[in-house]
Structure 1
Amino acid sequence: MPETTGFATRQVRTGYQPGTPQNTAIPPIYQSVAYDFGSFEQARDIFSLRRKGNLYSRTGNPTQAVFEQRLADLDGGVAALATGSGQSAVAVALLTLAKSGQHIVAARQLYGGTVDLLTDTFADFGIEVTLVDQDDLDAWRAAARPETRAFFAETIGNPVASVLDVRAVADIAHQAGVPLIVDNTIATPYLLRPKDFGADITVYSATKFIGGHGSSLGGVIVDLGTFDFGAEPQRWTQFTEPYPRIGDLVLWEEFGRERSAYLVYAKTKIVHDLGPALSPFNSFQLLQGLETLDLRLERQVGSALAIAHFLDGHPAVAKVNYPGLPDNRWHDAAQRYLPRGAGSVFSFDLAVDDSKVAKFIDSLQLFAIVANIGDARSLVVHPATTTHSHLGDTQLRDAGFGYRTVRLSIGLENLEDLVDDLRASLDAITEE
């Protein structure tokens, strides 16, 4: 496909060649567990990584492969790996780089489930994680150690819609000799391509905007092909020394950056052993959603900005956390990194007693109380008691929100209807 081909064309066409035969044992949607190798030689070569082909659906299937190629193309990456959920994509991306006794530096402005993964489960694995304020560049520098293996952050944070200075954090990561991994779920490749600003690996919860309809779980890791693991071979022995599972094959020599030794290892070890497989049917569903990504986001981002302006002027609202507003602390960063819009997931703080928070949320008619984002439907949730309920008071304050914070995910409904719904509920708690 020509390099000048547009975004919408690529999101619909990349990765699939009509008429290309696939070696599935059961026909498409390629709902097959196993594959007919055709010969002894082909089976041997596929298992030894000497031939490309379908091996077993725990590590991939043809429908998934199209989905992976399309995401890699939209992100400007060399390869992608899909997994069963966004959470598993984050885990696999990091476990491919770090093991017991090693270290990760991450922003503290993260989705609550990611905080749990990094501070609780990774501790069980013997991996230490230092959380820093994503805007404190000196803190990123100070946290790096010889045993550090990755920097990790979200491009748009959840739930306060913080905007990462991707270029600055990437430069610090590279000075420390490690890749920057960014969770680009809320921005998606349509609003932000992290590769353009120095990031090395992106992860997505495809469950959100990429799928867009709340029907299918999925996650994706994209290797942007920018990090040279061969520059310090002693630091990345999983790639630069013989891979025990494949005899004397050295992944970096065989695959390098161009064919992502990083994701080959992730697929053949981490995904193979832990099994966070993406089903063929979910791959198909996510592909259908991906085809309309730009159209949905244009509407959702436009509605989000209008709703943020409305909330900013209502007496029952103390603060709106939306970087599209001129007085937001991340407005300048949004102007640099998000020229197409600052996303459609954000939060606001109510200017009422804590006792009225539940009444406000329960009185909404169009905003469904759902622990998800990026849906075609508009959603509302109370982070302090749901998605971030495991965080203590200090962690909540450090993340920039509290009990009176309400998170919205703006959908595709008529803007006027959404504003009227919010206005009615805000007026009700103001008049009491």
Structure 2
Amino acid sequence: MSLTLGRRTLGTPVVLAPMAGVTNAPFRQLCREAARAGLPAAGESGADAVLGADVPEGIFVSEMVTSRALVERTPESMRIITPAPDETVRSVQLYGVDPATVGAAVRMLVSEDRADHIDLNFGCPVPKVTKRGGGAVLPWKRDLFAAIVRVAVREAARGDVPLTVKMRMGIDADHLTYLEAGLRAQDAGAAWVALHARTAAEYYSGHAHRDAIARLKETVTDIPVLGNGDIWSAQDALDMVAETGCDGVVVGRGCQGRPWLFTDLVAGFAGTGRGVRPGLRDVARVLRRHGELMIEHFDGDEGRALRELRKHMAWYLKGYAVGGDARRGLALVDSLADLDAKLAALDLDQPYPGEAAEGQRGRAGTPKIPSVPQGWLDSREIDAELAASLHEAELSVSGG
């Protein structure tokens, strides 16, 4: 099963979802290497189709970067779009609420040859994004959504860069937007649409609505439709495709602390059945390498790199018998030497703990009322006053 992205063919229809503070260049490199380990060997059944693709292992998207920060070339935004050394497809996710600013950001990425694929974020449910009219609540303003996608597609096309859209089902059950948004994205020239099958109100709670992915696939027929939500294993991905008819999957929280999930995903779609079941020593080896890559990414700033690594500790250690004191200590590491010492103190001979190491990562949270701009739900269209306020919201963004 392959997936098209512009002129490229993906031998494995799998995309690493952009996750703030997680999918930076070091983590993408670990996931990409793991994916390559799952590729079938030449001569295996189905290997020709996978290995003969332009991108056999799938696509790995950067953290979301705001369009205004990118246009202003803030140091953090430039770091976010800096690819890993072996990144053959430089994939950047862009966020914005003002068509002119989004267009300028895409123009910069394309004219300076900084991206091979650009994804637009219409799926973020975080209040600091939605209260500005961005992320998952933006498609409610259908003319604004269409304008942003059209200008982004137009600017990306100048460099033959495919432009894709990632979105949620809508604001809440009473304000669904995904079917109309999918059609508008298709009409604007998007290369594919990906649906996280939850509303903004659901956040990450409950279960993804696979029936919504199937409905979008039935509605949007000219471009690929990808499904996202609750993919914790390769079997989950295969089941989603079988149940919904979608053309590929987007994997987010399921790979946190488990970059080797991409080995399983690639092998699963290739039909080889190969899988990774790491013992704690293997996990420690990957965790240590993650730390090394983070230090390189942050230009040798070991303190910052290890602080950024802390959030990954609980994910890596999920299911293993480590103990509360050791977990708390690892969550406070401040140097590579400190990491080495704390890892060496663990019982590294533990085998893979099975289901205890799998399943949901992090907190799912609970449903909540999304924060939206004043009067946002009164109309599906945007007026001049609201357009001006959105432009001001873009101007107020200074970080990546």
Q: Same fold (TM over 0.5)?
A: no
Greater RCO (Cα-Cα under 8 Å, separation 6 or more): 2
Task: Tell me the TM-score normalised to structure 2 length.
Answer: 0.31
Q: Highest Rg: 1 or 2? A: 1
Task: Tell me the TM-score normalised to structure 1 length.
Answer: 0.30
